Amino acid sequence: MQAPTMDPAGEPPSMLWGLDPIFSAFARLYVRDILQMTESTQVPVDDGTGVINCLCWKNDLFKEEENSSKSSVKPSDGGFNPGSELKKLRQAQQSRCRLEIGELLRVRGPVKTSRQQREIMASCFYKVNDPVMAVQIAWMMEVPQLYRQCYDKPLQLQPTATGESAVSSIGKATNIIKDFFKQKSVSRFRPYDVQDLLQPLIPRQPQTAPADQEPVAGPSACQQLRQLLKDALKILQDEGIVYRKVKSQDELYHVTAQDKDLLIAVKDIIREDCKREKYAEKGCHILHILSAVRQRYSLNVSRAALELVLKSLECNSDVVSTSDSHYTVF
């Protein structure tokens, strides 16, 4: 079966758009890209570095606000009045939706072209309380990774047999290395310690080519093995399962879950910083912990690795998560 032909605009046929997992998801995009993106030439489909209008329709909460403010609620004998509590809940929700200039918002909705300009039809919007800019910093750290790992990668509608085999081999390789970590309780390793484990995943190459075929040049089995190991270690690093404490010619990797020094360092940072008045009540935000770990322990600890450490500490009741990615000690 032949692959679907691409139209002149370089986009896949509209009937295949649903195969892209990003098509049905809300993408976190820069305003600049929203304003500069090209529209589809097949069908009229709509898909923070600038300014864009955001259209927010008032819902029934604002219509009911005047009536609810005029209505009186008689307190009950028991002290708890469901009507009064419901009124307080509505007022709290209304305050989250009432906007002032300069406030930080989280907006979700499709892009539309109205009045000859693009704007966002907000299906959901609410104010974000971010006094120390932790939410904004987290957004600025997350979005570039989403661009690199998802948005900037072209959709492969029909991968070749070689591509499918490569993806399958990488998945098998990462699972083999993970199993090795669990069985041997490995805390640190070098690439040559796990390289031989992946040897069965490399297809054997024939010694001589058939008489009626010309030999085809390609990577050797050793080169394929090294590349497979490199790709598998990259995935394990992205997932936070392994990390390199010090980047040097000696490629020494640490297994995050088994690195007792890292667990102790994170626990000590949370314990010491939670004594400060600033973090005493709510605890330390994960970005603050990450910054402290990179300053006091290793610059190469990723957020994914830190999340695994915090999960392990929480399972052992060494720390507890409060809310909004904040952690404290008992």
pLDDT of residue 48: 47
pLDDT of residue 86: 82
- Measured between alpha carbons, how far is 209 from 206 in angstroms, rounded to an integer? 7
Assigned token pair, 81: 């009045």
Per-residue pLDDT of the chain (330 residues; tens, 9 = 90+): 333 444 444 666 666 777 777 777 778 887 788 788 777 666 556 444 566 777 666 555 555 555 555 555 555 555 677 878 888 877 776 666 677 777 888 888 887 776 667 777 777 777 788 888 888 888 888 888 888 888 787 766 554 444 455 557 888 899 899 999 988 899 999 999 999 998 888 877 655 555 555 555 567 888 888 888 998 999 999 999 999 999 888 889 999 999 999 999 999 999 999 999 888 888 899 999 999 999 999 999 999 999 999 988 988 888 888 877 889 987
Which of these, 321, 322, 187, lies nearest to 257 by C-alpha position? 187
With tokens 């509209």, the residue in question is 14
pLDDT of residue 31: 79
Three-state DSSP state, 133: coil
- The Cα angle at residue 139 between residues 138 and 143, in degrees rounded to 5: 120
Domain-wise residue ranges, the chain: 14-60+83-129, 173-202+221-255, 259-329
pLDDT of residue 1: 32
Do residues 125 and 57 make contact, with C-beta atoms less than 8 angstroms apart? no
pLDDT of residue 289: 94
- Measured between alpha carbons, how far is 196 from 237 in angstroms, rounded to an integer? 20
For the entire predicted model, the pTM comes to 0.50
- Measured between alpha carbons, how far is 104 from 77 in angstroms, rounded to an integer? 42
- Measured between alpha carbons, how far is 35 from 46 in angstroms, rounded to an integer? 12
H-helix or E-strand spanning residue 268: helix 260-273
Angle (deg, nearest 10), helices 286-296 and 134-146? 80
pLDDT of residue 46: 42
CB atoms within 10 A of CB 170: 18
Which of these, 89, 87, 60, 90, lies nearest to 72 by C-alpha position? 87
| Record: fold of 259-329 | Arc Repressor Mutant, subunit A (1.10.10)
Write the class of the CATH domain 173-202+221-255. mainly alpha
Q: Would you say the CATH fold of 173-202+221-255 matches that of 14-60+83-129?
A: no
SS (H, E, C) 137-164: HHHHHHHHHHHHHHHCCCCCCCCCHHHH
With tokens 């692959």, the residue in question is 3
Is the CATH code 3.10.180.10 the one for domain 14-60+83-129? no
Count the helices and strands in the chain (H runs, E runs). 11, 11
CB atoms within 10 A of CB 55: 11
Here the contacts of 300-307 (C-beta below 8 Å, separation 24 or greater) are 300/243, 300/244, 300/245, 300/246, 300/247, 301/243, 301/262, 302/237, 302/238, 302/240, 302/243, 303/141, 303/240, 304/238, 304/239, 304/240, 305/240, 305/241, 305/243, 305/256, 305/262, 306/240, 306/266, 307/240
- Measured between alpha carbons, how far is 261 from 62 in angstroms, rounded to an integer? 54
The radius of gyration computed from the CA coordinates of the chain, to the nearest angstrom, equals 27
